[in-house]
Structure formats: structure tokens, C-alpha cells
Amino acid sequence: MNKKVSLFLLLLGLLVLPVAAAAADTQPLNVAIGYEQALNLGDPDAMTALFADDAVFYRHIGGQAITGQAAIREALAPWARENRTYEIVSLNMTGDEMTLVVDISDQGVTWGRQTLRAVVEDGLIQSLEPVAFRFLF
């Protein structure tokens, strides 16, 4: 009888473990989707809420590090522009690091593509930096 119970518990554990691991792996994806939505709403407060209190943000490639939610909110405020939309066209995740490719459009015309690298821990962005940008025309 003990062998049957042990086998049952082992099988149950094997079924539950992948589900728990899959749920943990979706945190960066949820953050990416929230970031895209906040950008499209033009809501600096919603964008900033996705960052940890001591997060690091780089506005430009090779630019100065901006640290802390208040400073990041100020840096993100100009991103809110009427008729501007952002679309994540690619997302790769490795552990807690993700690489996002984001298309930028104004009035329906896609003109730019930016690649961002982010580290997400506990459902919050710890760091976000642009690593590439190109014009699409």
C-alpha cells in the first residue's frame, strides 16, 4: 500500500511542478504586456508602477542611468504622445531577462523599431535599457 501512495504522490508532484514553474515564468511576459499597454495609454504612472522602487532605467543607448521610480516617471513622461502607438513584435525570455523588440508608430505609420533589454524579478522591472534602434524608412 505504501508503494502505491508513494507512486501516486510522485506522479502528483510531477504534474504540479511544471504548472508552478510555468506560472513563475509568465511574470516577465505579464510585465511586457503591461508595459506595452501603459505606453499606448500614455500613462506615465502606469508605466512607472511596473518598475521596482530602486530600478535602473536608461533613456538612450549608452545614456546615463536613471534610478528610482520618481526619476523614471519623469524620464518616461515625454513618451506619452497623442496618436503614438507601441507594439511588441518580438519577445525573448531567458530566466529573468527579456529582450523586447518594439515598433513605434505615429498616426498609424510605423517609423521606428527599438530593442530593449529588461530584467524582471518578482513581477517588477529591475532594469530597462535600450540596446538598439533603427528607423524603418
28-80: pLDDT as tens digits? 788 999 999 999 998 889 999 999 999 999 999 999 999 999 999 999 988 87
Q: pLDDT tens across 10-24, in order?
A: 333 433 434 444 444
What DSSP letter does each residue of 11-44 carry, written as one string? Answer: HHHHHHHHHHHHHHHTHHHHHHHHHHHHHHHT-H
Q: What is the CATH number of the domain that holds 27?
A: 3.10.450.50
Beta bridge partners of 124: 121
For the segment 94-105, what is each residue's pLDDT rounded down to a tens digit? Answer: 988 999 999 999
Task: For 80-136, write each residue's pLDDT tens digit.
Answer: 788 999 999 999 999 889 999 999 999 999 999 999 999 999 999 999 999 999 999
Residue 23 structural domain: 2-135
Q: What is the mean pLDDT of the chain?
A: 83
- What total number of domains does the chain contain? 1
